[in-house]
Amino acid sequence: MAYIDRDQTQLSSKLVTMLDATPSIRIAVPVTDESEAKKLIQQQKVFGFIEIPSDFHKKILQGNFQEVVCYTNGQFIMASGLISRDFQTTIGTFSAGVMMQKKTQKGMQLQKALAEAQPILIDEHVLYNPFTNNAFYLLTALLPMMLQMVVMMVTVYVLGIEFRYQQGKYWLEQSGGNPAIALIGKLLPYTIALFFVSWWMNFLLFKLVGAPLQTNMFSVTLITCLLVVVYQIIGITIASVIPDFRTALTIGSGFTAIAFSFSVYTFPVEGLPASMQYLANIFPFTHFLEYYVNRAVKGIPFVFTWKSILSLSLFMLLFVWGYGKFVKMIKKGGYEKA
């Protein structure tokens, strides 16, 4: 943050020091006027600036209202919010301190002056992201988001490429005429690899990056592996139902790409129109992320989160229909040539 201290008194310097001591504000660049501060904001060298007026100390001693202005760059929503929060908290503490000092100078006892200056004490605790770390917040959703996209595209590709080049009958013949063995043999190596990726993703997030984990690693890895299986089933269905390889890849990628938008991670689901709330439920990622956040980040007991895992598991029923389509497709040999 840049700052303009037009008062240059001991009191204004104290306020600058208090602001600099907050977690989100670092008073780094002194400037002489607003145009210089505005230029620094436009160059993205600072997130904003604070202006202390020239008669700051004088008016406060006289008991008059005084104003300290904080300008922030609204393009950076997260940073602006944190700066505004710490700025308002610091100004409140500073004002209470000035009031206490005046009352004690008039002979009032310190405890009574404190009670009058701040009659209600605020005891605030950030429950689920105490460090207000943007990486913890974003990676918790983005890493599983990328994983489900990889699972979908790998599954559709490894099946669809066989159907595209009419290799279904040969594939089935090499599997002893058993479609189940053909499917398992094709996908099992990828499934094992993706299970490892699931473990590595959670290890990276909760151990290396250091995001708070309120349950055990086995629990979060297990639910992530379930997500892998569910999206493999959807991938099998798409590759077997859609009549050509290109369209299958397009639908698979599109389905996973918009899943994050409907996972209502950054916006409460209650704020969506009713139709959008129902639509959000057709994406497995919505139910996975709800369970993942509630268990891993918030530590909510399983008895209150089982509905999400049940909803995610219900997508596995799609295999009953998808496998039937897969059997027909592999026996036919593959997609019809255009």
CATH 3.40.1710.10 domain position(s) in the chain: 2-117
Q: Which residues touch 99 (CB under 8 Å, ≥6 apart)?
A: 113, 116, 117
pLDDT along the chain (338 residues), means of 10: 91 91 88 90 90 88 83 85 89 83 76 71 74 84 96 97 95 95 97 98 95 92 97 97 95 93 78 84 94 92 93 96 96 87
Which of 225, 211, 207, 202 is closest to 143 using CA atoms? 202
Which of 13, 11, 49 is closest to 29 using CA atoms? 49
Q: Which residues touch 151 (CB under 8 Å, ≥6 apart)?
A: 194, 227, 228, 231, 232, 235
Residues facing 51 on adjacent strands? 4, 69
Give the SS3 label for residue 166. Answer: coil
pLDDT of residue 338: 60
pLDDT of residue 128: 80
User: Does CATH number 3.40.1710.10 belong to domain 2-117?
Assistant: yes
pLDDT of residue 318: 96
pLDDT of residue 153: 97
What is d(CA 169, CA 329) in angstroms, rounded to the nearest whole number? 9
CA distances from residue 56 to 6, 29, 168 in whole angstroms, order as listed: 8, 20, 81
Listing DSSP states for 297-316 in one string gives IS---GGGTHHHHHHHHHGG
In whole angstroms, how large is the CA radius of gyration of the chain?
Answer: 29
Q: What is the per-residue pLDDT across 48-101, written as a single tens digit (0 to 9) for each?
A: 999 998 888 888 877 778 889 999 988 887 788 889 989 998 888 888 887 887
What is d(CA 232, CA 63) in angstroms, rounded to the nearest whole number? 69
What is d(CA 136, CA 239) in angstroms, rounded to the nearest whole number? 35
- Give me the count of residues in the chain: 338
What is d(CA 222, CA 227) in angstroms, rounded to the nearest whole number? 9
Q: Mean pLDDT over all residues of the chain?
A: 90
What is d(CA 74, CA 81) in angstroms, rounded to the nearest whole number? 9
Contact 317, 229 (CB under 8 A): no
What is d(CA 51, CA 3) in angstroms, rounded to the nearest whole number? 6
Count of alpha carbons within 13 angstroms of residue 328, beta-carbon side: 12
